[in-house]
Amino acid sequence: MKKRDIIKQDDKNDIKLWVNTWKRAGKNLDKLKNMELQLFDYKKNQHIVDDMLQLAYKFSKERKYSGLVEQQKYFIEIAR
């Protein structure tokens, strides 16, 4: 008996409902996130943005290369 045969039909229906519910919720959450970003008052909250950028700078690591060469290798492989 395979694992997929163990799941009862009721459970399959519940899982499908759950997945579809989150798909719809995901779309609405994306819309909400985009709206919040568009309405965000950067001037009023500039200190928050500055703090986040400072944090990123504080924990950044120096890179000896940009990764552009590797990226070009991938593009060449994909194009073949």
pLDDT of the chain along its 80 residues, tens only? 566 567 788 888 899 999 999 999 999 999 999 999 999 999 999 999 999 999 999 999 888 888 999 999 999 999 88
Return the residue matching tokens 């400072």: 54
Spatial distance between the Cα atoms of 17 and 55, rounded to a whole number of angstroms: 41
Does this model's pTM top 0.75?
Answer: no
Instruction: Please say whether the beta carbons of 49 and 42 come within 8 A.
Output: yes
